Amino acid sequence: MARTVKRGRSAPEPAEPKHGGANLDRFLGLAIRNERQRQQLTISDIAERTDLSRGMLSKIENGQASMSLDSLSRVANALGVSVATLFRDLESKEGGAQHIKAGTGMEVVRRGTRRGHTYHLLAYDRGPKKIFEPFLISMDDQSEVFPVFEHPGTEYIYMLTGKLEYRHGKETYVLEPGDSLTFDGAVPHGPERLIKLPIRFLSIFIYSE
């Protein structure tokens, strides 16, 4: 049922109750500015469409003024979006992803590996406890002799290019592009035979609690 609000002649326009106070003002201001700039509109364009002053719109975008529901609706209409669209990221958590550009992963030397066998670490643990380690492993030397590896946790391998025979315990597996292998890292394992070079595969170590 629609709600009717009575206004006195000199009373200010009622403001919609705010969630988070100034934080909400800043959030809405940033959402409006981002949408306006995405559409390549100026503050003057929005002012003409809403009958709000450029000064007021500037304050709104900078989080320095609260908006009434009516003003918010007018701004949303001027931008051609719904009010809900301006609130869509309100509950989103702050980002903090770790982005490693191609070719910039830290090169790691593992015991027993020499020429033609490189490990590039694709993510770095930032917490007090190591949870996982993803590597891009490259092999391009047929004469390389490979050691046997053992480590805690689970290892997952996904083949990208090339072909090799991989040993885990008493079993061997031929891996080609698109193949994957998951195994207990505590069981001795490692490349047994390189069949087609160059070889590239992802190796992810997942550590238990």
Residues 129 and 202 in one domain: yes
Residues 49 and 121 in one domain: no
At residue 122 the predicted structure's pLDDT band, cuts being 50, 70 and 90, is: confident
Final residue belonging to a domain, choices 32, 52, 86: 86
Least confident of 79-93, 95-109, 120-134: 95-109
Q: Can you tell me the mean pLDDT for 62-90?
A: 86
Residue 139 resides in a domain: yes
CA distances 48 to 32, 51, 54, 84, 86, Å, are: 16, 6, 9, 22, 20
The pLDDT value recorded for residue 121 is: 85
Q: Can you tell me the mean pLDDT for 79-100?
A: 76
Q: What is the CATH number of the domain that holds 163?
A: 2.60.120.10
Q: What is the pLDDT of residues 150-198, one digit of tens each?
A: 999 999 999 999 999 999 999 999 999 999 999 999 999 999 999 999 9
Residues 201 and 117 in one domain: yes
The pLDDT value recorded for residue 148 is: 86
Residue 200 reports pLDDT greater than 80: yes
Cβ contacts of 148 within 8 Å, gap of 6 or more? 167, 188, 189, 190
Higher pLDDT, 101 or 92: 101
What are residue 189's phi and psi, to 5 degrees?
-155, 165
Q: Can you tell me the mean pLDDT for 25-37?
A: 88
Residues 191 and 110 in one domain: yes
Residues 110 and 175 in one domain: yes
Residue 96 resides in a domain: no
Residues 140 and 82 in one domain: no
Cβ contacts of 107 within 8 Å, gap of 6 or more? 118, 119, 120, 121
Q: What is the pLDDT of residues 72-83, one digit of tens each?
A: 889 999 999 888
Q: What is the CATH number of the domain that holds 61?
A: 1.10.260.40
The pLDDT value recorded for residue 204 is: 94
Residues 43 and 73 in one domain: yes
As beta bridge partners, residue 182 has 156
* Cα–Cα distance, 27 to 62 (Å, whole number): 9
At residue 13 the predicted structure's pLDDT band, cuts being 50, 70 and 90, is: very low
Q: What is the mean pLDDT of the chain?
A: 81
Task: Provide the residue range defining the domain that includes 78.
Answer: 22-86
* Cα–Cα distance, 139 to 103 (Å, whole number): 15
Note whether 151 and 138 are within 8 A (CB). no
* Cα–Cα distance, 56 to 33 (Å, whole number): 13
Residues 75 and 146 in one domain: no
As for how many domains the chain has, the answer is 2
Residue 190 resides in a domain: yes
The pLDDT value recorded for residue 153 is: 92
Residues 125 and 195 in one domain: yes
The pLDDT value recorded for residue 171 is: 96
Q: What is the pLDDT of residues 124-156, one digit of tens each?
A: 766 667 788 899 999 887 766 677 889 999 999
